[in-house]
Amino acid sequence: MLKNKNYNNFFCIWLISLTVLISLIIIVGGLTRLTDSGLSITKWELFTGLFPPMNSKDWSDYFEAYKKIPQYFLLNQGMTLSEFKFIFYWEYIHRLLARFIGIFFLIPFLFLLFTNALTKKSIFHLTTIFFLILIQGTIGWYMVKSGLIDNVSVSHYRLSIHLSVAFLILSLLFWILLNYFNKSEKKILQFNNQYISIKILLVLIFLQIIIGAFVSGLDAGKIYQTWPLMNESYFPNDVDFNNFLNFNNASFVQFFHRNTAYLIFFLTIYLGFNIFKKKAKNLYIIFLFFSLAILVQIVLGISVLLSGADIYFASMHQISSIFLIASALKLYHSSIRS
């Protein structure tokens, strides 16, 4: 991973810091969505907007621009400047943190390149991550644009792409860290028969994150706030079976999200049975951590529903998904024979 071992500590601290920063921006991005703040800045401001409004005229300009989009005149008419500042700062912090991550990645990366400290594989992997970070900024604006003309919120499809790329970046960084700490060069894509159930679980967890973004984008957590049934039925009673696979339907999306969670839970039990049957002692501890993350995620998901989509439970539900992904990747990494 490193040709020059003198930079080991620098490389390690840099990767850990990046992983923490990506986790932080996922949390801030979730809160930006939960507070309906994502459309408060109506311009991309690629080379401007580094500083927040500094005077009353600047605030007035931003507020007047916001008043021209559907979210304001359909949902927030009568909003005060003070209320606007609250949603503005969430989006501003989100964008500022994204810029900081880009710079925090690029400068140390260029330093390591200049000092010839990285192997060719590391250069390829890190360049891929930097490319994804750049793409993510474009996706973010592509998402925001979807809510500026005909809609009062962003497209849940574009929101899911934005969140998926964030988790992909996080996963790739965490995988590099796992290889670094274990002094290994395991590939994240393993096409073999080793613990197929772990690989299926990883795919299902990423699918669940995508559907979770659909739930958030459609505010699907604000309907059917009962569990285990959806009101008094297993199936949502407002879904037409002739048009069942409709990902624009909030009821179906919540139903799909619930049942994917059940599938993940039962597959986890099956995986645990196999691990202990095969006496794979190297997986015991990490499997217990992974199982705990699954249980916490399920309990928080149910709490979101029963609390009426309380913002604190919803945010904790998203935060716990970060730990779930990390524990799943660690379990997967540990299951791969070197």
pLDDT one-digit tens code per residue, 250-304: 999 999 999 999 999 999 999 999 999 999 999 999 999 999 999 999 999 999 9
- Binning pLDDT at 50, 70 and 90, where does residue 50 land? confident
Please indicate, yes or no, whether residues 18 and 116 belong to a single structural domain of this protein: yes
CA distance 168 to 214: 17
Point out the domain boundary residue: 162, 185, 208.
185
Q: What is the pLDDT of the chain when averaged over all its residues? A: 93
Please indicate, yes or no, whether residues 6 and 37 belong to a single structural domain of this protein: yes
The predicted pLDDT at position 264 comes to: 96
Higher pLDDT, 154 or 2: 154
Please indicate, yes or no, whether residues 60 and 181 belong to a single structural domain of this protein: yes
The predicted pLDDT at position 190 comes to: 81
Point out the domain boundary residue: 185, 211, 244.
185
Please indicate, yes or no, whether residues 92 and 46 belong to a single structural domain of this protein: yes
- Binning pLDDT at 50, 70 and 90, where does residue 338 land? low
Please indicate, yes or no, whether residues 129 and 30 belong to a single structural domain of this protein: yes
- Other Cβ atoms less than 10 A from the Cβ of 281: the count is 9
Whether 193 has a pLDDT exceeding 90, the answer reads no
Q: CA 170 → CA 17, 195, 216, distances in Å?
A: 11, 23, 20
Please indicate, yes or no, whether residues 122 and 17 belong to a single structural domain of this protein: yes
Please indicate, yes or no, whether residues 132 and 210 belong to a single structural domain of this protein: no
Total domains present in the chain: 2
Point out the domain boundary residue: 185, 213, 234.
185
The predicted pLDDT at position 6 comes to: 80
The predicted pLDDT at position 59 comes to: 95
Please indicate, yes or no, whether residues 218 and 316 belong to a single structural domain of this protein: yes
Question: 138-174: per-residue pLDDT in tens?
Answer: 999 999 999 998 888 999 999 999 999 999 999 999 9
Whether 248 has a pLDDT exceeding 70, the answer reads yes
Please indicate, yes or no, whether residues 252 and 276 belong to a single structural domain of this protein: yes
Please indicate, yes or no, whether residues 23 and 172 belong to a single structural domain of this protein: yes
Please indicate, yes or no, whether residues 170 and 258 belong to a single structural domain of this protein: no
Please indicate, yes or no, whether residues 177 and 261 belong to a single structural domain of this protein: no
At 4, list the tokens: 């020059």
Structural domain of 1:
1-185
